[in-house]
Structure 1
Amino acid sequence: MVRWEPGTRERLQAAALELFTERGFEQTTAADIAAAVGVSERTFFRHFPDKREVLFDGQSRLVEAFLAGVADAPADAPALDVVAAALHSGAGFFPDDRRSWARLRRGVIEQHPALLERERHKMAELAGIIRAALVARGVAEPAATLAAESGTTVFTIAFGQWIAEGEHRSLDELQTRVLADLRSLTASDAGRAARP
């Protein structure tokens, strides 16, 4: 009988990512992952419902981080400032020591359309949750949806930059820059629209 060891979940994740990278996602089984860590396949399934979830574990904690930022924003903050607070809080979920893992994870996901679709679905869920939190704060539609969707777009773009080879800036810094670009773009467009 295999005894429980601390860190089993993390070791399964590390082994899975290594195997997915070396062999391919489709060629790697839950049994392979379990064997690489020295646990039973049953132990794997105690931690993850399937091998796909190894790559998407942590979504609930990411959502919690974003919602903490929404909750911490001043009550009178405009919607985009609330989103900026959510982005700042969410960036804490990705310290620099997770960057290499995130790069490998993205490489695996980008090779499989079903995994890419799952990733997009997770971002859509996050946008919906942020939208609902904005509405609860009194932000009217369509501003709540525009702000939430813009926030997840900023996150997606900045995250792609953060995992790029040679990048050393923090995710928080990159998100701040991308959000500033968005604000500049919308301000320019608003200025043009106001001209006769």
Structure 2
Amino acid sequence: MPRWDPCAEDRLREAALELFLEHGYENVTVAQITERAGLTRRTFSRYFTDKRDVLFAGSEQLPAVLARSIRHADDTLSPFEALLTGLVDVAGGLADQAPLAVQRRAVVQASPELQERGRTKFAAATEAVADALRDRGTAASEATLLAQVGVAIFRAAFDRWTDQPDDIGLPARIREAAAELAASLGTVDFAALPPPVTR
């Protein structure tokens, strides 16, 4: 076997996902992953810090990438429009992940440890989005609320995309989820809501 294999990272990721789905994430070791891939532990360490990193490698870049896209959105856009523009822009770069997204999601959903890692990842993305909106001049409380809404839209769209990865792309799913939210809000009669309780 050659000392350097240009497909090593993909082989390791594919082997890990196969094993995680077969035996459960918690029951798989790095040694088993490297054996399945036909590679060494040293090669594994070249690409990943641990077995969890196989699933989340690259995700640490998401907050910064989202924030950058929002900051660079057209100045004439409203805060929510800038947020959606950033989400759609970033989603366009994830198209090549569709084949593995379904498997990755299944592994994460079956593991409380990985679910917690996912929540931490999205919390970091929410804070980065809020910072980007504040940098555009959005009030702090509004920026925080919009960031939470934006990340919720992204997550809902991502789930739909992984449910039907060959249907329409992730950017279209983000537009779809945002449009549904906007339509729902448009039907709210705020005057009909009960008044706040004063004590």
TM-score by length of structure 1 reads: 0.89
Aligned to 2:190: 193
Deviation at 1:137, TM superposition (A): 1.4
- Output the amino acid matched with 1:180: A
- Output the amino acid matched with 1:139: T
Aligned to 1:43: 43
Cα distance in 2, alignment partners of residues 9 and 64 from structure 1 = 24
- Greater mean alpha carbon deviation, residues 67-76 or residues 85-94: 67-76
Deviation at 1:195, TM superposition (A): 6.9
Aligned to 1:14: 14
Aligned to 2:167: 168
Aligned to 1:102: 101
Output aligned runs, 1:113-192, within 5 Å.
Answer: 113-165=112-164, 168-189=167-188, 192=189
Cα distance in 2, alignment partners of residues 65 and 93 from structure 1 = 10
Deviation at 1:4, TM superposition (A): 2.2
- Output the amino acid matched with 1:28: V
SS at match of 2:140: coil
Are the counterparts in 1 of residues 69 and 90 from structure 2 also a CA contact under 8 Å? yes
1:65-97 Cα distance to aligned partner (Å, 9 max, x none): 4234213311132111011111111211321x5
Aligned to 2:86: 86
Cα distance in 2, alignment partners of residues 111 and 52 from structure 1 = 13
Are the counterparts in 1 of residues 71 and 135 from structure 2 also a CA contact under 8 Å? no
SS at match of 1:77: coil
Cα distance in 2, alignment partners of residues 182 and 23 from structure 1 = 38
Are the counterparts in 1 of residues 31 and 41 from structure 2 also a CA contact under 8 Å? yes
- Greater mean alpha carbon deviation, residues 115-124 or residues 162-171: 162-171
Deviation at 1:194, TM superposition (A): 5.1
Are the counterparts in 2 of residues 72 and 85 from structure 1 also a CA contact under 8 Å? no
* Aligned-residue RMSD, C-alpha: 2.1
Deviation at 1:187, TM superposition (A): 2.9
Are the counterparts in 1 of residues 67 and 131 from structure 2 also a CA contact under 8 Å? no
The structure with higher relative contact order (CA 8 Å, sep 6+) is: 2
- Greater mean alpha carbon deviation, residues 164-173 or residues 177-186: 164-173
- Output the amino acid matched with 1:193: F
Are the counterparts in 2 of residues 79 and 134 from structure 1 also a CA contact under 8 Å? yes
TM-score by length of structure 2 reads: 0.88
Cα distance in 1, alignment partners of residues 3 and 77 from structure 2 = 51
Cα distance in 2, alignment partners of residues 120 and 102 from structure 1 = 17
Deviation at 1:38, TM superposition (A): 2.2
- Output the amino acid matched with 2:52: R
Are the counterparts in 1 of residues 15 and 37 from structure 2 also a CA contact under 8 Å? yes
Are the counterparts in 1 of residues 161 and 170 from structure 2 also a CA contact under 8 Å? yes
SS at match of 1:142: helix
Residue identity over aligned pairs, in percent, reads 34
1:148-196 Cα distance to aligned partner (Å, 9 max, x none): 111100011111111115761111111101111222223333xx22579
